[in-house]
Structure 1
Amino acid sequence: MGEPSFLSTKQGRKLAYHRTEGRGPWVVFLGGLKSDMQGTKAVFLEEWAKKQGRAFLRFDYSGHGESSGEFTEGCIGDWAEDTAEAVAALTDGPILPVGSSMGGWQALLLARAMPERVAGLVTIAAAPDFTEDGYWAGFSDAQKQTLEEVGHVELPSDYMEPYVITKRMIEDGRDQLVLRSPLALPFPVRFLQGTADTAVSVETAVRLLEHATGPDMQLRLVKDADHRFSDGPCLGLIAKAIDEVEQASL
């Protein structure tokens, strides 16, 4: 796989990345919360892009993987800054973000920030606004009190060690919400969602589809696929969606 390169951002962070030159638009993979660029989907898409001679970028947000910082120091806005800096410094011309889970939220923030750069968009189990609609809405009064007094709460995860959710992440998340105001996606979009996903519900996917506006937007439900969306058929569907979106953007 090789050693990563590092990008120093104006916020003083060092972001680890792997960048593959090729024909555009640049496919930019945006990972999920506490995941990293060594995940199955990111590595599969890099190999797929190389075989096709396509430009591809994968990177770690700060506090993730091999990038600088601690996870508990970060928040949605910080990772949106990381994403924007990586795209600005490491790609040129049109981009095609592929966002998984929290990366789906990041892809939507990126599309809102620089719509002129986005040729199309693919999300996988996108989790927009989850700090508010998932975490905060699900907290008990005792957890909310702990958050206020201690500054963080720990939540169990189906996939790894407990998530430490900080007060800063909750409060910053409210500044990054995308489902409370108009969300224009004026390019081809494919939302992919598994029906057996226990982290992001089908209802969330439908809410995103109904809320966003755009000329070419589809939600693809995959029966029995879970949140990882990483088996062979699911990986093939991601690649197919990228091809579809690129062709539709021409």
Structure 2
Amino acid sequence: MVGEITMICMDNSKWMTEEITWFVNQIRAIELYCERKLKAHPDNLVGIFRMGELDLGFQLYPTKNFQLVKCVLKRFIPSSTRQNLDLLLSLELCTECWFDHKHLDKRIVVFAGGPCKFPSKQLKASVKVLKEGEDTSVVIDVVDFFPVLDDSKADSLKKLVKHMNEQNIFGVDWRKLDTQRGAVLATELKNNANKIAKWTAQAILASADMMKLGYVTRVHPRDHFNHVILAVVGYKAQGVCWPD
């Protein structure tokens, strides 16, 4: 089992001072989460990031030292300036601490108290930044704990979780296997041309008329070993059309 680096994005906005119990409860929840996370695996790391739009930055770089985590949280106070959360920029900046820990899985836990909303284009751009590179196993958890009058906050957070944890923006939407199998095959011919060419050649050399391709996906985005079969489709070995 691989260790995990977890960045906790906490709310340090003015909204937390309007009802101090919300801020205190947030601190307690983060402390408990960090304690459990560090005990779960010897290689686990936790860090803390401030999300207030006027005070973005690392409160604590990833560490294994729980006593240091407690000390930092004990001294932490919310901002005295009324400000919203700059959630997307916070998520992008969190990745700066990952370059020295490429062997670990990545997780971001967002404690969203104050208002936060963002346009869809900005969301897609930020998700692309988070998922670019060889390691795209970034998982986001959201804790929405402060009441906001409008629904824009909840909708924005739901879209964020959906794009990060469900949508594979660099691969194929596997739901198309039911309705557009030709499009899925065309994408795989483009992305895995060498492998499919090898399999096709082997089928022809073996005088096999049919070749079957199996489509699989991970059971969980961070699980590199366990997969589930989505579909098995048969093709004529000499009938596979290659893109130019």
TM-score of the superposed pair, with normalisation by structure 2: 0.36
